[in-house]
Amino acid sequence: MKPFLIAGLASLVLSSAAVTESAAQNRYTNMSGQEIKSALVGNSLRGVDSSGKYTIHYKSDNRMRIVYQGKRGKRVENGVWRVLGNRYCRRWERLGKGKTRCVTFHRHGNKIVWVRRGEVTDHTVLLRGNPAGL
């Protein structure tokens, strides 16, 4: 076997081991629909996505409010959310073109990642109450 091929295979094995070890250390678990509702109602998520940072406060009546700091500046909007099976679905007035989008939630402690089509889209932290005053 050529030396560069051996080095490449060793690198692949080591990087695969690092990914597996990282996943085991994080121990994120899928959240059920009931777990999502219990976590969100009356509380907030602070997070980041590919376009910016945000805080969302979830009211008990499936209404929510967001303050979003993105490429186009700061925005405050209202939206609606619900749980379908074990998926979290939300729709904003203008953000996301007003379309309903659904994701699964995966939790470790107070950290929740959002997964859509097998890709993590958001990294959030669960906060008690409404610290952003939304």
CATH number of the domain within which 119 lies: 2.40.128.20
Q: 11 or 54, which is more confident?
A: 54
Beta strands 119-127 and 101-108, pairing class: unpaired
Which tens digit of pLDDT belongs to each residue from 18-42? 333 344 346 899 999 999 999 999 9
Q: What is the pLDDT of residue 51?
A: 87
Rounded (5°) CA angle 36-40-48:
95
Q: 12 or 68, which is more confident?
A: 68
Structurally, how many domains does the chain consist of? Answer: 2
115 & 49 share domain: yes
The torsion angle over the Cα atoms of residues 7, 9, 10 and 11, rounded to 10 degrees, is: 90
Q: Is residue 69 part of a domain?
A: yes
Q: How far is CA 108 from CA 17, 61, 126, in A?
A: 21, 26, 10
Alpha-carbon span 54 to 42, nearest angstrom: 17
Contacts of 112 (CB under 8 A, 6+ apart): 31, 39, 45, 105, 106, 124, 125, 126
22 & 73 share domain: no
Tell me what the pLDDT averaged over the chain comes to.
83
Domain that holds residue 42: 31-127
Give 59: exposed, middle or buried? Use CB within 10 Å, 0-12, 13-18, 19+.
Answer: middle
What is the percentage of the chain residues whose pLDDT exceeds 90? 68
Q: Is residue 132 part of a domain?
A: no
